Chains A and B, each alone.
Chain A
Amino acid sequence: MAEARADDDVRAHPPEQTPEPTPARATARERREAWGYEEATAGRGPRAYRGLRAYQGVRVYFLIVGMWVRSTMAYRTSFVIMTLGNLVVTALDFAVIALMFSHVDVLGGFGLAEVTFLYGTSSTAFGITDLLFGSTERIGRRVRDGTMDTLLVRPVPVLAQVAADRFALRRMGRIVQGVVLLGWSLAHLDVDWTWDRVLLLPVMLVSGAAIFASLFVAGAAFQFWASDAAEVQSSFTYGGTTLLQYPPTVFTTEVLRAVVFVIPLAFVNWLPALHILDRPQPIGLPGWVGFGAPLVAVACCALAGLAWRAGLRAYRSTGS
């Protein structure tokens, strides 16, 4: 029920953020001028303009996030209960794995510590993205009820507003759980920690989060066309993190090919983790493939950015 109340935009965004009124059919250039970016970066070329806009986007993202955190903290008990509840719901994933390992010692040739390592890395990377970008999956609702329009008239990148919208600090629960299990697995794994493996671990978590973020943004863009179809992206986001909690050896080569070449989820943790765990790469991939994760993440983000722009351009208001 907090959902309905909190969607109230007037409360969510203080009126001083309202821009100068722009003509109804303003061109993109006129709108930018009205927002002051053009003026502020006059004579310094498009790069300065884009830099300022990106900086503004990040700044406003954190302003909106701060506002939601303050609003959450107004109901502190509710926040604590929801965070604990979130922790328990995400822990159910691991309960399945724990129950499975009460019957077997290895699953797909991987021991409990190794599966926990996969679980911890997948869950941490996904948790970071879910915290920072999870709200983007709610965009279909805004497209349906027409409140998307209010986001478009503000002098702030729409993506920053959508990502920060109804920021839910309780999603920390998943990150906490992921990090705890990752820590446990690191203590129980028998790994030869050479420098490249040590380096690959944080790189893997950051690239993994970026790959998930690109899926969230691309999924949100898709909702501009199919506002009812929010659930499709769950297949790739929630489905993706579930898939990656299990060893790749459990799945068929068709599945592996799909998550390497089509939707590169395998780069979130499988391929880098296989290098750390000193196991051969699947489907004949070379041993160094895990190091490609940052490049894949950058490419995914670029594609998601293009998809987002195309989606935003295709947006038609409900007109009601």
Chain B
Amino acid sequence: MRLHMAVMASGFRRYATYWAATAAGVFTNTVFGFIVAYTYIALWDQRPQLGGYDLAQAVTFVWLGQALLAASALLGGGFHEELQERIRSGDVAIDLYRPVDLQLWWLAGDLGRAAFHLLGRGIVPLLVGSLVFELTLPASPLTWLYFLTAVALGVLVSFAIRYLVALSAFWLLDGTGLNMISLVLSLFFSGMILPLNVFPGALGDLAAVLPWSAILQIPADVLLGEHQGTDLVTAFAFQAGWALALLAAGRALQSVATRKVVVQGG
């Protein structure tokens, strides 16, 4: 456990080193926040209460998406390209030699990264958004605590999905195609391109039960106060359920994959 805390801390420090990249990312998130916010305003102007959100809630959703984009690795990034490259080059054999579990090792590093991105890339865009637009941000610290819990569970789900994608490199060697499919699914079904409750009919119902909704839609709804009481517990259970199922799937795939590894010259 102490080891994993150390890996997590170095994951945090690793991303904190590149302050210019962080500043550039914050700038880009903020610019996109403005662009998307104005398009949502035009949409909600004509359809107030679309998807059950009022205008302020819809604009808040935009800025939450920009704030969580890096932390929840909605555009990819994080660790999986790195792990794929280690699998392709064979360096993963060294990782497997270590007396540490592969999945937990990368999970600790990714949680450190997410913690940095949440602070470094999340706070400023949300602050700028709240200064320029009228946002629905809760006054109660308890709601913020629920929100952070939902974000943490969302990061777990996001990690579990990316870990599965990364392990595919054991069979495919080149993960580029699958990474792209994963990116499309993550953008579309997380709510990043449009809140899922705005999706029409069956598509909306489908999107709501897929794991990607745990990454952005549920944390956003928790902050917007859409989940209260037992509904909140159900939301957390939904996220935790997907996280456990996908992490278990990653573990199973990992044991199949590592049995496949042949280290040359050993």
Contact = CB atoms under 8 A, between A and B. Distances in A.
A106 B45 CA distance: 11
Nearest to A97: B39
Contacts, number: 105
A107 B47 CA distance: 10
Interface in A233-283: 234-235, 239, 242-243, 246, 249-252, 255
A103 interface: yes
B153 to A, nearest CB: 25
A239 B31 CA distance: 7
A96 B183 CA distance: 16
B38 A106 contact: no
Interface stretch (A152-160, A222-230, A292-300): A222-230
B194 A96 contact: yes
Interface in A134-159: none
Contacts of B181: 85
Nearest to B175: A1
A84 to B, nearest CB: 9
Contacts of B41: 250
Contacts of A2: 174, 176
Most buried by A among B35, B46, B176, B188: B35
B119 interface: no
Contact of B180 (A1, A4, A89, A102): A89
Contacts of A89: 180, 183-184, 187
Given A95-B188, A103-B43, A230 B24 contact: yes
B177 A106 contact: no
15 contacts: A1-B173, A1-B175, A1-B176, A81-B177, A85-B181, A96-B194, A100-B43, A107-B46, A229-B23, A230-B24, A239-B31, A239-B32, A250-B42, A251-B38, A255-B34
Interface of B: 18, 20-21, 23-25, 27-28, 31-32, 34-36, 38-39, 41-43, 46-47, 50, 81, 84-85, 88, 173-177, 180-181, 183-184, 187-188, 193-194, 198-200
